[in-house]
Structure 1
Amino acid sequence: MRIVFMATGEIAEATFSALLNSGHEVAGLVTQPDRPVGRKQVLTAPGVKELAQEEGIPVIQPESVREEDALKQIRDWAPEVIVVMAYGQILSQALIEIPSRAIINLHASLLPKYRGAACIQGALLNGDLETGWSVTHVVKKLDSGNIILQHPFEIAPEETGGQLHDRLALAGPAALEDALELFTEGDVPGIPQEESEVIYVPKLLREDGRIDWSKPATEIERMVRAFHPWPGTFSELGGKRLKIFPPVRISGKSGAAGEFLGLLDGGVEIACGVGSLVLSEVQPEGSRRMSSEEVARGRRDALNEGLK
């Protein structure tokens, strides 16, 4: 089949690479413009763009895929199927109507749970035992199209958001391959999503990583894993930000929320709303990443006032 691929995020790279090496004809790639990245703000191209250029695949990078020039180019490519994966923009009805067969989306959750940008973090934050890929038809309403297929797999007990992202990236090619195989056999209407089971997870901001120590230790432990590496989790120590990294270990002591309970097995123990957490690695504002025990040795007075 003749396919146009629309993607920007790193999670799409393995799937796009596999598509380039499949028997399908890739007519073009739509990705977002190169962006400044890192502390030095180096202008960086999406990884999928580099893959396309290596294979001589045409690439367009519109600021908005609603632009008429972008829509015209996609029409000129005459796709049978458009594949969308971590593209990062809302798609117009004009775009949805372009392909002759279908426009499909690979979404990194088992829909209808976790519609939206924070789908990987959402599964971890809620303590789900499994997640996976959903391949759906694209409609104007966010992540709401009929489900073509799902590829579920188990979430590991101590998995972080970054680790789960990487496993999903490796599982993406098989999900797309199976979906495209269905389309070679005929039309695939899919199964409507159950609207009563919908959970929305909007894009996360850095401030979303602030820890509320009044919550149970189990919830905070999941948050620390889910939000690593983005947006990260933090608290305040002595009026300055303290980044907290996984793993953190659940313990059973009690105290006022955020209270320093002492050292346990070489880590700082902090009271939560229910239970306590033993911290492993932290990073004080303006300093390097270090063990929590090192912070306890150097900043005991501030630590005795608790984490805020």
Structure 2
Amino acid sequence: MSDGLRVIYAGTPDFAVPALQALIDSPHEVVAVYTQPDRPAGRGRKLQPSAVKKLALAAGITVEQPENFKEASDRLHLEAYKADVMVVAAYGLILPQAVLDMPRFGCLNIHGSLLPRWRGAAPIQRAIQTGDAETGVTIMQMAAGLDTGDMLLKTHRTISKDDTAQTIHDALANDGASALIEVLSMIQAGTLQPEVQDESKTCYAAKLSKAEAEINWQLAASEIDLMIRAFNPWPVAFTRKGGEPVRLLMSEVVEGKSVSAAPGTVLSEDKTGIQIACGDGVISISRLQLPGGKAMSVTEFLNGRSLAGESFPS
């Protein structure tokens, strides 16, 4: 295609799908898609292709799945595609400098934060957990460091009190797709104005773990609410009832209410939520999941069940 760039696309999970679809629908030519090797998933632990691989195969695009780029043969194979640019979105592999330097315009990354804030593995979740008022996508020129490259374009999105990591993830995936196409047009037009990141403003978005998802009811209701929404859909915030985990999926702070009850005490329950005392304030749980059960609204939960009188360990 004379009117488009030759693009190698590297991505793996759902977050990377909208940008690949946008490239497929654009004048640019996706000459190959790189994605993680198929992994075991589901009850049968059968090998499953990534979300990006499924889309690439459906579109008739060649798929490559190297374990890494340590072998010279893998690097030479990538170089043979003679790409103008390589686009990376949640690929899951570290690219060596030799790969970063191969395409004519280098490698671009679709990163789910407003860099230089939140470099690292979990920028969406950490932004919500910390109470950031906004987030966004940064299209950056990839460099050897962790999310250290020059910023090429940013999009902005408000984080509302109803947002979870899932809703922000989905919104940023779409925002990143649009931003990528805009950046590729700027590359073609020669109008890019790269911005160096201010190292003094960086934060590290550490990888999430199940261990940090257990709720400490001694914390303020506002902190617990942010945690619940940040950890939905994974690792999912939880508390314990009879030693078993009760997963909490959606919540809100009950404004202007303070109580003397011990943190973790269930104060009341109705179709609007299950109200629980915290170290400071009260939180209302509107969606939850019992051990071995499915996620349900509080209305569904209260149909024959009750947590009245319960006190969760803090």
- Normalised to the residue count of structure 2, the TM-score between the two structures is 0.90
**Structure 2 partner of 1:10:** 14
**Structure 2 partner of 1:285:** 291
**Structure 2 partner of 1:204:** 208
Q: How far, CA to CA, are the matches of 1:15 and 1:31 in structure 2?
A: 14
Q: Which moved more, 1:288-297 or 1:180-189?
A: 288-297
Q: Which moved more, 1:23-32 or 1:265-274?
A: 265-274
Maintained 8 Å contact 1:146/1:189: no
**Structure 1 partner of 2:274:** 268
Q: Which moved more, 1:65-74 or 1:147-156?
A: 65-74
Q: How far, CA to CA, are the matches of 2:220 and 2:303 in structure 1?
A: 24
Measure how far apart 1:5 and its partner are.
0.7
Count of aligned pairs between the two proteins: 306
Maintained 8 Å contact 2:267/2:308: no
**Structure 2 partner of 1:154:** 158
Instruction: Indicate whether 1:253 and 2:258 are aligned.
Output: yes
Deviations 1:37-83 (A, max 9, x none): 23332322112212222332211101223333321111111111111
Specify the code of the residue in structure 2 equivalent to 1:78.
Answer: K
Measure how far apart 1:146 and its partner are.
0.7
**Structure 2 partner of 1:83:** 87
Maintained 8 Å contact 1:29/1:59: yes
Q: How far, CA to CA, are the matches of 1:225 and 1:109 in structure 2?
A: 17
Unaligned segments of structure 2, at least 5 residues: none
Maintained 8 Å contact 1:31/1:59: yes
**Structure 1 partner of 2:46:** 42
Q: Which moved more, 1:180-189 or 1:8-17?
A: 180-189
Specify the code of the residue in structure 2 equivalent to 1:3.
Answer: V
Q: Classify 1:2/1:267 alpha carbon distance in 2 versus 1 (closer, same or farther; 3 Å).
A: closer
Specify the code of the residue in structure 2 equivalent to 1:267.
Answer: G
SS at match of 2:154: strand
Equivalent of residue 104 in structure 2, options 100, 107, 123: 100
Equivalent of residue 307 in structure 1, options 292, 309, 313: 313
Q: How far, CA to CA, are the matches of 1:148 and 1:73 in structure 2?
A: 28
Specify the code of the residue in structure 2 equivalent to 1:32.
Answer: Q
**Structure 2 partner of 1:139:** 143
Q: Using the aligned pairs only, state the percent identity.
A: 35
Specify the code of the residue in structure 2 equivalent to 1:60.
Answer: E
Equivalent of residue 24 in structure 1, options 28, 31, 34: 28
Measure how far apart 1:285 and its partner are.
2.2
Structural mapping, 1:184-203, within 5 Å: 184-186=188-190, 188=192, 190-203=194-207
Maintained 8 Å contact 1:83/1:103: yes
SS at match of 2:203: coil
**Structure 1 partner of 2:132:** 128
Runs of 4 or more, structure 1, over 6 Å off, are none
Q: Which moved more, 1:267-276 or 1:173-182?
A: 267-276
Specify the code of the residue in structure 1 equivalent to 2:269.
Answer: L
Maintained 8 Å contact 2:183/2:192: no
Q: How far, CA to CA, are the matches of 1:233 and 1:296 in structure 2?
A: 24
Maintained 8 Å contact 1:32/1:62: yes
Q: Classify 1:185/1:208 alpha carbon distance in 2 versus 1 (closer, same or farther; 3 Å).
A: same
Measure how far apart 1:238 and its partner are.
2.2
Q: Which moved more, 1:39-48 or 1:99-108?
A: 39-48
Specify the code of the residue in structure 2 equivalent to 1:174.
Answer: S
Maintained 8 Å contact 1:60/1:70: no
